[in-house]
Amino acid sequence: MTAYVIRNAHVLGTQVADLRIVDGVITDIGADLDTTDAEVVDATDLVALPGLVDLHTHLREPGREDAETVETGTRSAAAGGFTLVHAMANTDPVADTAGVVEQVWRLGREHGYCDVAPVGAVTVGLGGEQLAELGAMADSAARVRVFSDDGKCVSDAVLMRRALEYVKAFDGVIAQHAQEPRLTEGAQMNEGELSGVLGLTGWPAVAEEAIIARDVLLAEHVGSRLHVCHLSTRGSVEIVRWAKSRGIDVTAEVTPHHLLLTDELAASYDPIYKVNPPLRTADDVAALREALAEGVIDIVATDHAPHPSEDKDCEWAAAAFGMTGLETALSVVQQTMVDTGLLDWAGVAERMSAKPAEIGRVAGHGRPLAVGEPANIVLYDPRSTRVVRPEEAVSRSRNTPYAGRELPGRVVATFLRGRPTVLDGVVVEEVAA
Amino acid sequence: MRHLLSTGDLTRDEAVLLLDTAEEMRSVAERPIKKLPTLRGRTVVNLFFEDSTRTRISFEAAAKRLSADVINFAAKGSSVSKGESLKDTALTLQAMGADAVVIRHGASGAPARLAAAGWIDSAILNAGDGSHEHPTQALLDAFTMRRHLAPGQHGLDGRRVAIVGDVLHSRVARSNALLLSTLGAEVTLVAPPTLMPYGVDSWPVETSYDLDPVLPKADAVMMLRVQRERMNAAYFPSAREYSRRYGLDGKRMAKLPEHAIVMHPGPMNRGMEITADVADSTRSVIVEQVTNGVAVRMAALYLLLSGARDAASENTSDTTEGQA
C-alpha cells in the first residue's frame, strides 16, 4: 500500500507536524519527515483531526434508495470528514435482524468510502411492542452495539426497561428518540408563540423532556447505559446534567442544525426547515452550545436525513421530517462552537470522534493522532468559507437547510485506514481495495 | 399588495383601502346592472382542496361581478393523500395562465408556499389555510362591524370585540385578531384554556376564560364554530358543558349593550355555540356577513389585479396596469 506524508498539519489545531502513514497506520509524527517512497499531501494551514465518527446517520438503504444508498451516503460522509457512520435502523425492511444489519455493514465495507456500523432496531419493525433479536444482531458480523427505534420513541416504559437491561449482556446501549407520542400527535414545529401564530400544531419541549426524565430514572434503576438522541431543549440539558451529577450512565448528542438554526425559520412555511425534533428557540440553542462545551452533551451527531425533492417540494404538513448534514457538520460546529470560543479543535475531536466511537463501542475509530494508531485522519481548512449549494451535494439528496448560506471551513482530505477517500476536497473514486 | 396571505401583512392604510373599496363594490350590487368590466379577460382560479361551498361561491360571485373568467378547481385530496401534489397543481394553473389563485387548503401555510416557492406567478388569495388564517373572512367581519358600529369612520378605534370559542383551531380568530387590532379595535378572545393558543399572551388582544363578564362591554360578539369531535380529544368534557359555559343564548345576549351585534362566520352549530333564537334575532348580522363577503372579495380581487384605482367609476378603458 502507498505511504503518505502529511506535511505541516496543525495537529488538533496546535502543534505543527508531519504525519507519516504506512499500511494504514500512523508510523511517525514529527518535523521534516522523510518523504522517500511516499506521496506528499501538503497540509499547510490545515487542521488535522482524527476521522470523524457519526452516531446518527440515515443511509436509507435498503428501501429508500431514491433518497440515499450506502454508497452515496458514505461518499457524503467521507466528504464531510467522517470515517465511520452509524446507520439508523428505520430502513425498509427495518434493521431488526442479523440479516439486514449484516447487509448494510457489508455494503459499507464493499464501497470503502467510510465504515458503517449498523444500528439495530430495539423493537420488531419499530413497532414498539416486541423486542427485536438484539443479541443476534450483537453477535452478527456487524457487531451491533447501538440499538435505536429512531424516528419513533420506545414509549412503553416496560419495554424500555427491558431493552436497557437486556443489552447489558453485550455492553450495548439504547439510543432513545425521546418523543412522547401522545403529546406530539400531528405536531409540526416547536410549540411556542410562533406555532400559535402560524397555526401549526405545536411540539412541546415537555414531550422530549418527560421521556428523558423517565429514561434516566429507568437507567439508574437497572444500572444500564442510556444514550439520548438529538437533544433539543434547555430543559433536556438540565435533566441530563442532573442525571450525570447523580452518576447515571447517560450520554447525549446534539445535531449541528440544533446548534445553529431556530424555530423562526418555520415562519417561511418552507419545509426544508421541518425536522424531528423541531428547531427550537434561540434560548434553547444557547443552552445546547453551553452544554456541549461543558460536556453535559457528550457528542455532535448529524441525524443526516436525506429525502427526495418531492418530499420537501410541497406544503409544510405534507413534507417529510429531516435534513441532510454530513457534509456541513464540521463547518457548523466550527461556526457555532470554535469561532465562538466555546471549543478548541481538541474539544471538537473529542466530541465528533473519540466520544462517539466510545459510546458506539467501535474499535479502530476515534483514536488519537499518535504513532501506532490507525490512520483515520481528516484535514480541514478552517480559514476558507463557502456558500452551500444543494446541487453540489455529494449525498443523493438536496435537502440541506443551509442552501445559500455562507459557512466557514472545508474538508480538504479524509483518510480511512491510510487510504484517501477525499483529496483536494473531492471524493476519490473507486477507493475500495 | 401582491398577494393576500395574512391580515398581519396589511398596514392600517391598506386595510382601510380594502374596506373603502368594498363599500364602493357594495354600491354596485344596488345598481340595476351588478357588473363591472374591470377584470375582463382576467382569469381567477378557485383552487379548493377543502370543501367550502359558501366561500367558493362568494369568491365566484365576486370574480364574475368584476367580469373575470372563473375556473373552479376542486382539488380533492392533497399530496398527503397521494393525489396530485400542490406543486403540480400550481404548475398546471401557471401553464393555463391564471392571473389570480384563490386557495383553500387544509394545511397551514399552503398559500404562503404557493406565493413563495416559484411554481406560479399569479396573485395568491388565501381563502383559508388550516388553522392559520382566513383573511377575507376577517375583512368582511371588519366591514360589517364598521357599517354598524363606526359608520363614516376609517377604522374601528375603541370598539370592543369579543371572539368566542375554539380559538386554537380557528383561522377566523387569527385573521380577526390581527386585522381588528390594526384597525384600532380592542379584541378579547374568550375560550376555555384548552382551546386558547399557546403563546396567546404575545398577541395584540386580551383574553378571558369567562364569557359573562366580557359581554356587557362588547360592541360585537363573534361566535366561532366548535366541532363536537373536539371533546373526543379532551378539549372539553361534553357539548352540553361547552354550551353552558361558552354558548350564546338569549339570556347571555341580554347582557350585551343595546347597540351590540352578534356575528358568526358560519356554518353554525345551532344549539352548540349559539342558540337558534340568538342566531335569528334582530341583533344577528350573520346573513348580512354573507352579502358583505362578496363585496369584500370583489375589493380584494380588484386591488390585487388592477392596482389601487377608483373602482366603481372605472370604465371599460381598463387594460394595462397588470400585476408585477
Mutation target for B interface from A183, A315, A316: give the one with most B CBs within 10 A. A315
* Full set of structural domains in chain A with CATH: 3-47+373-427 (2.30.40.10), 51-360 (3.20.20.140)
- Quickly list H helices, A181-302: 193-198, 205-222, 234-245, 256-260, 282-294
Q: Which residue of B has its CA nearest to A312?
A: B87
Q: What secondary structure letter does DSSP report for B324? A: -
Contact flag A315-B174 (C-beta cutoff 8 Å): no
Rounded to the nearest 10 degrees, the angle between the axes of helix B171-182 and helix B135-149 is 50
Query: Is A196 part of the contact surface with chain B (CB cutoff 8 Å)?
Result: yes
Beta-bridged to residue A16, according to DSSP, are A10
Phi/psi class of residue B175: alpha, beta or left (left: φ > 0; alpha: ψ in -120 to 50)?
alpha
Question: The C-alpha cell of B64 is what?
Answer: 364574475
Question: Could you report how far apart the first and last alpha carbons of chain B are, in Å?
Answer: 10
Q: Calculate mean pLDDT across residues A210-236.
A: 98
Element (H, E) at A77: helix A70-79
Instruction: Give B284's contacts (C-beta < 8 A, 6+ positions apart).
Output: B261, B262, B263, B264, B278
Whole-angstrom distance, CA of residue A207 vs CA of residue A204:
6
Would an 8 Å CB–CB cutoff place A406 in contact with chain B? no
CA dist B234 and B44 (Å) reads: 41
Chain A: closest CA distance from residue B114 (Å)? 9
- What is each CA distance from A342 to A49, A248, A337, A402, in whole angstroms? 18, 26, 5, 22
List, in order, residues 6 or more apart from B282 with CB less than 8 Å away: none
Minimum distance, in Å, between the CA of residue B70 and any CA atom of chain A: 25
pLDDT tens digits, one per residue of A66-99: 999 999 999 999 999 999 999 999 999 999 999 9
Joined together, the cell numbers standing for residue A54 give: 457519526
Contact B198 A195 (CB under 8 A): yes
Q: Is B3 labeled as catalytic in the residue annotation?
A: no
- Report the alpha-carbon distance of residue B49 to residue B129 in Å, rounded: 10
Whether B113 and A315 lie within 8 Å, measured CB to CB? yes
- The residues, any chain, with a CB within 8 Å of residue A87's CB and separated by 6 or more, are A57, A58, A59, A70, A73, A95, A104, A108, A116, A117, A118, A119
- Residue A149, pLDDT > 60, answer yes
Is residue B82 part of the annotated active site? The answer reads: yes
Q: Which residues pair with A18 in a beta bridge?
A: A30
Q: Kindly give the pairing relationship between strand A25-30 and strand A16-22.
A: antiparallel
pLDDT at position B85: 87
CA–CA separation, A168 vs B117, rounded Å?
50
Global model pTM greater than 0.80:
yes
Contact between B130 and B109 (Cβ < 8 Å): yes
Radius of gyration for the alpha carbons in chain B, expressed in angstroms and rounded: 19
Q: What are the helix (H) ranges across chain B? A: 12-28, 53-65, 86-96, 110-116, 135-149, 171-182, 239-246, 250-253, 276-279, 286-306
Residue ranges and CATH numbers for the domains of chain B are 7-133+290-306 (3.40.50.1370), 135-288 (3.40.50.1370)
- Residue B212 to chain A, least CA–CA distance (Å): 25
Contact B110, B50 (CB under 8 A): no
Q: Does A191 touch chain B (CB under 8 A)?
A: yes
Q: How far is CA B2 from CA A186, A222, A345, B100, B110, in A?
A: 32, 61, 49, 10, 16
Cell numbers 418530499: residue: A311
Taking CB atoms and an 8 Å limit, are A196 and B130 in contact across chains? no
Q: Are strands B206-208 and B186-190 parallel, antiparallel or unpaired?
A: parallel
Which chain B residues are closer than 8 Å to A313 by Cβ?
85, 87, 117
Q: In the annotation, is B54 catalytic?
A: yes
pLDDT-based confidence at residue A413 (cuts at 50, 70, 90): very high
Could you tell me which of A111, A117, A49 has the C-alpha nearest to residue A81? A49
Average pLDDT over residues A43-60: 98
Of A193, A268, A269, the CB nearest to B202: A193
Cβ burial of B206 (10 Å; 0-12, 13-18, 19+) is middle
Length of chain B in residues, anyone? 324
Question: By percentage, how much of chain A surpasses pLDDT 70?
Answer: 99
* Residue A318 to residue B107, Cβ atoms within 8 A: yes
The reply to whether A202 touches chain B by the CB within 8 Å rule is yes
- Over A411-433, what HEC string results? EEEEEECCEEEEECCEECCCCCC
Chain B residues within 8 A (CB-CB) of chain A? 8, 78-80, 85-87, 105-110, 112-113, 116-117, 129-133, 171, 174, 197-203
* Cα distance from N-terminal residue to C-terminal residue, chain A: 10
Q: CA-to-CA distance for A430 and A33, rounded, in angstroms?
A: 29
Least confident range from A17-26, A330-339, B179-188, B225-234: namely B225-234
Q: What is the pLDDT of residue B51?
A: 86
Cα distance between residue A194 and residue A21, in whole Å: 53
Classify A186 in phi/psi space as left (phi over 0), alpha (psi -120 to 50) or beta.
Answer: left
Tell me which residue in A196, A200, A314 faces B79 most closely, judged by beta carbons: A314
In chain A, whose CA is at the least distance from the CA of B131? A199
Q: What is the mean pLDDT of residues A147-162?
A: 98
| Closest C-alpha among A273, A294, A219, A300 to residue A400 | A273
**Is A303 one of the annotated active-site residues of the chain?**
yes
Mean pLDDT per 10-residue interval, chain B, length 324 residues: 96 98 92 92 94 93 97 69 80 94 96 96 97 98 98 97 97 98 98 96 97 98 89 88 96 97 95 96 96 97 76 42 37
In degrees and rounded to multiples of 5, residue B263 shows phi and psi of -125, 160
Q: What is the pLDDT of residue B227?
A: 82
Determine the angle formed by the axes of helices A234-245 and A282-294, rounding to 10 degrees: 30
The number of residues making up chain A comes to: 433
Give the cell for residue A141: 458480523
SS (H, E, C) B204-223: CCEEECCCCCCHHHCCEEEE
Q: Out of A96, A149, A303, A381, which one is annotated catalytic? A: A303
C-alpha cell of residue B231: 371533546
Quote ipTM for the complex: 0.90
Q: Which of B79, B201, B203 sits opposite A318 (nearest CB)?
A: B79
**What is the structure's pLDDT at A356?**
98
Cis bond upstream, residue A62 (ω within 30)? yes
The neighbouring-strand residues paired with A52 are: A82
Searching chain A, which residue's CA lies closest to the CA of residue B198?
Answer: A196
Residue for grid cell 357594495 = B26
Query: Which residue do the cell numbers 365566484 mark?
Result: B60
Listed in sequence order, the residues at least 6 apart from B170 whose beta carbon sits closer than 8 Å to its beta carbon are: B131, B224, B225
Average pLDDT value for residue range A289-304: 98
CB of A268 less than 8 A from some CB of B: yes
Q: From A269, which residue of chain B is nearest by alpha-carbon distance?
A: B109
Neighbour-count burial for A135-170, b at 16+ CB within 10 Å, e otherwise: bebbebebbbbbbbbbbbbbbeeebbbbbbbbbeee
Q: Quote the radius of gyration of chain A (alpha carbons, Å).
A: 21
Whether residues A193 and B117 touch (CB distance < 8 A) is answered with no
- Set of chain A residues whose Cβ sits within 8 Å of the Cβ of B130: 199-200, 317
Q: Which pLDDT value is given to residue B230?
A: 78
CA–CA distance, B110 with B129 (Å, rounded to integer): 7
A77 touches A431 (CB < 8 A): no
**Does residue A316 belong to the interface with chain B, where contact is any CB pair within 8 Å?**
yes
For A310, the closest of B80, B85, B132 (CB atoms) is: B85
Q: Is B251 a catalytic residue?
A: no
Compare A14 and B314 and report the one with higher pLDDT.
Answer: A14
Of B7, B21, B38, B55, the active-site residue reads B55
Average pLDDT in the A224-243 region? 98
Closest CA to B35 of B57, B64, B60, B15: B64
- Residue closest to B74 by CA, chosen among B49, B95, B98: B49
**Total beta-carbon pairs less than 8 A apart between chain A and chain B:** 86
The average pLDDT across A184-203 equals 97
| Residues A231/A177, Cβ–Cβ less than 8 Å | no
